[in-house]
Amino acid sequence: MAADSNRRGFLKQAGGAGLVLSAPATAAAQPAAPDEWRNKQSGMAYRRLGRTGLMVSEFGSGGDPIRSKNYDHLSLAVEMGLNYLDMAPAYGGGDCEIAYGKFLGGSSSRRAKVFLTTKVSGYGQLRDALYKDVYDGLGPAKQERIMAEAARLMAESGSAKPGYYLDYFPNQFGRLEDSYRSNAMMADYSHKVEESPKFQEHIIKQYEESLKRVGVDAFDNLMCPHGACTPEELAHPALRSTFEKLKKDGKVRFLGVTAHNNPGAVLRKAAELGYFDLAMVAYNVVNGGYLEEAIRIAKSKDMGVIAMKSAMAVATHHKPLQPTPQWRIDKINRIVPGEMKAPLKAYLWSLQNPGINMIVSNLWDPTFIKENLGLAGKTVELKSA
C-alpha cells in the first residue's frame, strides 16, 4: 500500500505535464552496410534494419517465453522464415540464452540462418545504485531537494503522461523514478558515478557470460542499455568505448538500445548520438502517437527501429499487472475491424508503419508461431479510432 501511495504521489507531480522531447542535434551519418539476407523464405516478408543492412523477418522471436524446457517449437518459426532471435541475461536468469544455445546446438547451418541479439541487463540499475549510495549518505534536507528536482524533471519530460506511459512489467514505474532521481543528482555528483570503472566491467563481464551461455563467438547486435528509462543513460562515456572494443575484437557488429519507459525520448537521443545503429522501443496502438516524430527522425538517420510491446497494449501475460482495460481492446477493434484476436490486430497496426523494421513477438508455442508469423506481409486499411 505504501508503494502505491508513493507512486500516486510521484505521478501527481509528474504526470500532468506535456510530453517534452528536445530536438536532437545533428549527428554524423554512419555508413550503411550492404543488404544481408539470412533464411529467406517465400512465405515471410522482410525489411531492412536501417544502416545495419540486416534483412530481418517482419517478426522476431522475443526472449520472454524461451527457456531450456521450451524452445523446440522455434524450429517451426525458422521453417516459416523467421531469422531474428532476441534474448537477454535478465530473462530467466540467463536460462533464455541457454535455451537459444541449445536451439542452435552448435550447428553452423542453423546459426547462419539467424541474426542474434542480446542485451546488457542491469546497466541502468547499476547507475541508479551508484547514485543511491551517494543519496543515502546525504542529509534529509538534501534528499528532499533531490526528490523534488526528480519530480520536476519527470514532469517536464512527460514520461509519466497517461497514454505515453504504460505498465508492461512489475516495478516498471519504480525504475522510472530511480532514473530521474539519478538524473537529479548529476549536476552535483556525476563525478562520483559516471566515471566509475564498474560500467565497463559490467558490460564486458555480462557480455562474455552471454557468449558462453549461447555458445557463440559473437552476436550480431548488442542492446545497451537494456531498458533505458531516460536519454541521459545513453550518453555514458563507457558505453560507446566498451562497445567499440568488443567490435574491434570481432565479438559484436552493431549497437542498439531498448526502452519501455520514455521510448520516444530515448529513441530520439539514440538517433541524435549517431553511434546507435538500432533501437527496440515500446510502440503500440496506445502510445504510438507520441513516437511518430522520433521514428521519423530515426528513419532519416537510417537507424533501425524495432517495435516491442505491440500486443501487450491489449493483452498481458504478467499476472501481477491489472487486467487490460477494455477501452484499449475496443480501440484496436475499431481501427482494425473483423474477426481476429486483439493482439494480432495490434501487431498488424504496428506493421503498417513503414518506419518500423520489425516486431519482436513472444512465441510461446506453435500456435503463437502460426498466428503471429502468419501476419507477415499483410496490409490493412486502418479505420479511425
pLDDT-derived band at 236 (thresholds 50, 70, 90) equals: confident
The pLDDT of residue 385 is 80
Q: Residue 106 has what pLDDT?
A: 67
pLDDT of residue 322: 76
12/105 Cα distance (integer angstroms): 51
Nearest CA to 83 out of 34, 35, 39, 43 is that of 39
22 has pLDDT over 60: no
Summarize the confidence of residues 217-236 as an average pLDDT.
96
Burial 242-274, CB ≥16 within 10 A → b, else e: bbeebeeeebbbbbbbbbbbbbbbbbbbbbbbb
pLDDT band at 10 (very low <50, low <70, confident <90, very high): very low
Amino acid at 53: G
Sheet with 36-37: strands ordered across: 36-37, 54-57, 46-48
| DSSP assignment letter at 50 | G
Report all structural domains of the chain as residue ranges with CATH numbers, in order of start: 36-124+194-338+361-373 (3.20.20.100)
DSSP characters for 185-237?
Answer: HHHHHHHHHTT-THHHHHHHHHHHHHHHHHT-S-EEEEESSTT--SGGGGG-H
Average pLDDT over residues 282-288: 98
Q: Residues 227-253: what's their mean pLDDT?
A: 96
Task: Detail the DSSP E strand segments found in 76-128.
Answer: 84-86, 115-119
- Over the stretch 57-86, which tens digit does the pLDDT of each residue have? 999 999 999 999 999 999 999 999 999 999
Phi, psi of 111 (to 5 degrees): -60, -35
Whether the predicted pLDDT of 238 surpasses 70 = yes
pLDDT beyond 60 at 11:
no
Task: Report which of residues 165 and 321 the model is more confident about.
Answer: 165
Residue burial 8-33, b: 16+ Cβ < 10 Å; e: rest: eebbebbbebebebeebeeeeebeeb
The model's confidence at residue 294, banded by pLDDT at 50, 70 and 90, is very high
* Mean pLDDT calculated for residue range 146-165: 97
Examine the pLDDT at 9 and tell me if it is beyond 50: no
d(CA 174, CA 171): 5
Between 383 and 21, residue with greater pLDDT: 383
Mean pLDDT in residue range 51-62: 98
Percent of the chain with pLDDT over 90: 86
Q: What pTM was computed for the model? A: 0.92
